[in-house]
Amino acid sequence: MGRRKVAIIGAGASGGALAWCLATAGAEDDVVVFHDEDEVGGHSRTIPIAFDATGRARVAASEDEGPTYPVDIGVQFVCPSIYPNLYRQLTLPDFRHVTLVRHRELRMSGAFQDDLCWGNFGPYQSGERFDRCLDEETRAQAARFQRDLARAPWGKIGGRRILSMSVGEYLDASGIGRRGNFFRYLLIPYLCIINGYGTVDLLETTMEDLFPIFARIPGLQDDGPYGSFTSVGRGWDRFEHGATQWVVAMIDYAVARGTQVRTAARVERLARRGDRWVVRWTSGATYGPGGVALAPGTESHEDDFDTVVLTTDMTTNRKLLDNDDNPHWAQQRDILSPRRFRLLPGACYIHQDDTVLAPALRDGLEDGQFTGYFAWGDRDEGSTLYDLPYDLGSSFQTYLMQNVLGTPAPLYVSMYAEDRTAVVPAPDKTQFVRTWRHGRWVASFFREAKRALHRVQGLGDLWFAGNNTTIDSEEGALLSAMIIASKISPFQYPFPRLSSAWGLYCFFHEMMFPSRNRLDRIARVALGRPLGSAIQTRR
């Protein structure tokens, strides 16, 4: 077989990881990565922020001198037991300059009215602003929830194992009501932070999803638990120089081994011509600091490839594939449909407007504040479903980067679902804005959609990777890339087996490519592939 031409669409975490995987496999392929921004990173992009002498922030330009602060627009923190493959990758020699630093305490708060606030650390747990929210019943329910999660693998309620329950089922079984403060002001906001603001399916989150967050697992964590309503979270790390450095390290490794990377290349269409895929893209876009698009590209190009891997979200994938020159669309349409992949809107603001913090809670002591204060009394689908006195879709989370990064002046990162109806930062105090569509941070969501995706994987040698196929995180991106690389190249899992990292890889491999029978499943765990060797593997 001659050299293949392989196109990777997207150079975020998944695309960068896939390029790295193919390069480590040593396949004699011509790999081209397309990315529609001026720099790689995608949702793992880091925005460098500089400050002037007065404390005014700006997105740093390449010619700026002086210190800059790496502000990530996606996931702010990572941890060993939930991101085990990422941590193993970072021990490799080629990643020695990609460093993590420990964030000693994760301090979270919620604010809803002047006297209805809470926090998981001392100063925010008593006093006239906090006593109404953190009453005796709320404290007892929070403690029980955490205690039950810690024993979830073996603990039972009503004869049923806690780990097998959804959050909604657990609440019903435990008797924790849905009109109390714990449910309305602690639990629902926390589920929003990890699983999507304003979504109506929060209670479908499983207790298995939450177990590694609220439990300290011996042997896998050097500190913890990561999440708590009654005390600070412990054990979180962050990328010292921002998550983009990690993506760049993977891309640089691949480029040094022959991979081509085309930035500012927006793929517009994928079409079939004979036995090859035609990738059509535009170039020539112009960008400002931080990759803000100033003008779209107008120069059209096309090239053909043997193999294409889409690492983009399912909304983008549908747009690229829905055309008369894609003979596989009839099979792909339902599998990729928005009915199956119910992606959420998202918006990120980097700003210096402290008025988005609740007026009652502007002490600036926490790392992150969930703000339902400005949405009090409004209703949306989520608040109606959960009987909340505030509009869930107009609530949002703000990270205080002075506490996270040690910036010389206040700086905030606010995360929204629909920012059209929410209180947003003033334009003259906003340094950066990005919108997107995203999946979920926990594994239980889109489970059936992910398990059905294998039916169209590899049709015409077109494959789907990316967070929508696993989970919406750097770990999910890396897992997805490794799994797809094993299908299209000689790539083999690169880290020691019989570990939590290998177990997570097997879990998502089984989700993306379900075994035909129990023997295949056992062989995959023991040998790294089903019996009969490489079914669906090119080489």
| Average pLDDT of the segment spanning 36-47 | 94
The predicted pLDDT at position 380 comes to 78
| Average pLDDT of the segment spanning 9-31 | 95
The predicted pLDDT at position 205 comes to 85
| Average pLDDT of the segment spanning 516-520 | 63
Phi and psi at 291, nearest 5°, equal: 80, 15
The predicted pLDDT at position 108 comes to 97
CB count in 10 Å sphere of residue 59? 19
CA-based nearest residue to 314, from 480, 485, 177? 480
The predicted pLDDT at position 353 comes to 99
pLDDT greater than 50 at residue 536: no
Sorting pLDDT into bands at 50, 70 and 90, what band is 535? very low
Distance CA 60, CA 71 (A): 11
Q: Mean pLDDT over all residues of the chain?
A: 91
Say if residue 225 is preceded by a cis peptide, omega within 30 of 0.
Answer: yes
The predicted pLDDT at position 197 comes to 53
| Most distant CA pair in the chain, distance | 74
| Average pLDDT of the segment spanning 372-381 | 88
Sorting pLDDT into bands at 50, 70 and 90, what band is 537? very low
CA-based nearest residue to 301, from 338, 346, 336, 262? 262
Which range is most confident: 266-270, 420-424, 511-515? 266-270
**Percent of the residues in the chain that have a pLDDT greater than 70, as a whole number:** 92
pLDDT in tens, 461-486: 999 998 888 887 899 999 999 999 99
Sorting pLDDT into bands at 50, 70 and 90, what band is 68? very high
Distance CA 103, CA 85 (A): 20
| Average pLDDT of the segment spanning 90-113 | 97
Sorting pLDDT into bands at 50, 70 and 90, what band is 229? very high
Tokens for 321, please give them. Answer: 């594939």
Helix segments in 90-199, DSSP class H: 136-150, 167-174, 181, 188-195
| Average pLDDT of the segment spanning 516-533 | 55
CA-based nearest residue to 60, from 72, 70, 50, 69? 50
CA-based nearest residue to 20, from 253, 260, 248, 243? 253
| Average pLDDT of the segment spanning 237-261 | 98
Sorting pLDDT into bands at 50, 70 and 90, what band is 321? very high
pLDDT greater than 90 at residue 498: no
The predicted pLDDT at position 413 comes to 97
pLDDT in tens, 323-349: 999 999 999 999 999 888 877 778 999
| Average pLDDT of the segment spanning 318-327 | 96
What domains can be seen in the chain, in order of their start residue? 5-41+244-341+443-493 (3.50.50.60), 108-234+344-438 (3.90.660)
Which range is most confident: 74-78, 149-153, 533-537? 149-153
- Whether the pTM exceeds 0.75: the reply is yes
Spatial neighbors of 455 by CB under 8 A, at least 6 apart, are: 331, 335
